[in-house]
Structure 1
């Protein structure tokens, strides 16, 4: 009896989402994949009986609800949800307009929430499922000048997923936050990464980091998207998957460094911390 899981993957026409969907199909899984156009998915992936390409705007709850209903209609169920849709917004906190900041939150946070809200009735009814939310190492370590709003969206993804994990535990539903480091995808290219519409030259650190990304990091990312796809599958097949998963040696190293700093600061200021109790 074939017990392969049915996957629902958002933001699947490029990047880690595309690599994951291709690998899943090669492994014989049934996959519903979303993008803003079906054409972009079919161009990259082609057509097969196990593949359901869906045109979805994650910020539109009706669009999301229809896609989930269509997936259940075609494949009978959904077992694994990967919330991968999102984009990077560069710009210091002063530079970015209210609309630029809110648009990034609309996609990266509220779009993800739309998917979770609409898939949960199905997962609750069957008392099983696994939601994998893609954060970023920038959702754990925020010290990247010019990335503040993007960081904030990814910290929000981590925070809401932690809460969801506690809420859904007795329902038999698992949750994992994935914090990728730099992977050799198109994330740092135009279309996936937006610059501030009105940059302010005085922000030297932010401008310098933009140059570093453009001249040193693009093309030299240590992460292999094909190996990331295999890691996603291993997470989903794990009976006890981690709540927090740092993907990539760079992500792992940056997370460990932050944890070491936190432990040091906790120890150094323990007396002051505890001095505020009655």
Structure 2
């Protein structure tokens, strides 16, 4: 193990993207701190270059800070913090209610904020480091039944990551917002079990069955390969492979479905802007005392 190898801290490392990323990093000789609520699973990864830590990203700020402090003691530094932990809980917004929305936001948004804040003092002191946030195409593909809470949490974390990138750039730190499409992880398999319904509304039943039918058809047939996706993240962070010689991307769209959805989203938004341009510009003040920020 080289003392120059990168140190990566990964949340949600027991499955899916987190597990795939940890395996890639171990194979390349980097050092990994794999955090998860399922320690038994992650202990399978433990070796000279991989240590496991228990972390529930929905825990208190104090508990999360303690995990970050412990992580820093292992190898004396962390170079990349990967906010991967999260889940999708499909449900109609009216049925999900506040409890369901908070359930999604606690993991997908507040967990990212708290983990990032726990490491930022260390990264600022190092004057180097990268914060990776695993978002979703559903942040901008939200016009889809049963994705309200999930899409909202991912849109929020995307906005947070964009602002954070501007705030920490002066310290030599970077943010990478990963925006994947559907990949072959256990996300769909676990989705229904994660659902919180405050009240069942019969009028939604037909649409519910149609939506879950689509999930069932796609499960195991998603177009994205999780290992290839995480290899792309490693390449971008290190400026290697297909990322070699390219400028740093704040946004990294992964998957042909995510690409197609992004292109459609941009086309629809551009048309909307053109169609309503007269109204958009009609609110401008009449005087010349205007400052843009």
Same-fold call, TM cutoff 0.5: yes
TM-score (ref. length: structure 1): 0.94
SS in 1 for 2:9: strand
**Match of 2:128?**
128
CA distance in 1, matches of 2:192, 2:129: 29
In the TM superposition, what is the alpha-carbon distance from 1:192 to its structure 2 partner? 8.0
Q: Is the 8 A contact 1:134 1:178 kept in 2?
A: yes
SS in 1 for 2:184: coil
SS in 2 for 1:97: helix
CA distance in 1, matches of 2:39, 2:146: 33
1:13 matched to 2:20? The reply is no
**Match of 1:115?**
115
Larger deviation: 185-194 or 131-140? 185-194
In the TM superposition, what is the alpha-carbon distance from 1:2 to its structure 2 partner? 5.0
In the TM superposition, what is the alpha-carbon distance from 1:63 to its structure 2 partner? 2.6
CA RMSD, Structure 1 to Structure 2 (Å): 1.6
**Match of 1:189?**
189
Larger deviation: 60-69 or 158-167? 60-69
Whichever of the two has the greater Rg, that structure is: 2
Q: Is the 8 A contact 1:91 1:199 kept in 2?
A: no
TM-score (ref. length: structure 2): 0.89
Q: Is the 8 A contact 1:37 1:54 kept in 2?
A: no
CA distance in 1, matches of 2:48, 2:58: 28
CA distance in 2, matches of 1:193, 1:179: 24
**Match of 2:162?**
162
In the TM superposition, what is the alpha-carbon distance from 1:191 to its structure 2 partner? 6.6
CA distance in 1, matches of 2:196, 2:144: 15
In the TM superposition, what is the alpha-carbon distance from 1:114 to its structure 2 partner? 0.8
Q: Is the 8 A contact 2:11 2:82 kept in 1?
A: yes
- Deviation per CA, 1:188-217: give whole Å up to 9, x if none: 113785234344332244441221101x11
From 276, 282, 293, the equivalent of 1:275 is: 282
CA distance in 2, matches of 1:226, 1:67: 27
**Match of 1:26?**
27
Q: Is the 8 A contact 1:90 1:193 kept in 2?
A: no
**Match of 1:57?**
56
| Structure 2 unaligned spans of 5+ | 240-245, 286-293
In the TM superposition, what is the alpha-carbon distance from 1:62 to its structure 2 partner? 2.5
- Deviation per CA, 1:165-192: give whole Å up to 9, x if none: 1111111110011111100110111378
1:74 matched to 2:74? The reply is yes
Judged with a 3 Å threshold, the aligned counterparts in structure 2 of structure 1 residues 67 and 192 are, in CA distance, closer, same or farther, namely farther
| Structure 1 unaligned spans of 5+ | none
Instruction: Kindly report which structure 2 residues correspond to 1:98-109, keeping only aligned pairs within 5 A, or say none.
Output: 98-109=98-109
In the TM superposition, what is the alpha-carbon distance from 1:11 to its structure 2 partner? 0.3
1:242 matched to 2:249? The reply is yes
**Match of 1:213?**
215
Q: Is the 8 A contact 1:132 1:177 kept in 2?
A: yes
Instruction: Kindly report which structure 2 residues correspond to 1:257-268, keeping only aligned pairs within 5 A, or say none.
Output: 257-268=264-275
Number of aligned residue pairs: 275
**Match of 1:140?**
140
Q: Is the 8 A contact 2:90 2:192 kept in 1?
A: no
In the TM superposition, what is the alpha-carbon distance from 1:37 to its structure 2 partner? 3.2
Q: Is the 8 A contact 1:183 1:223 kept in 2?
A: yes
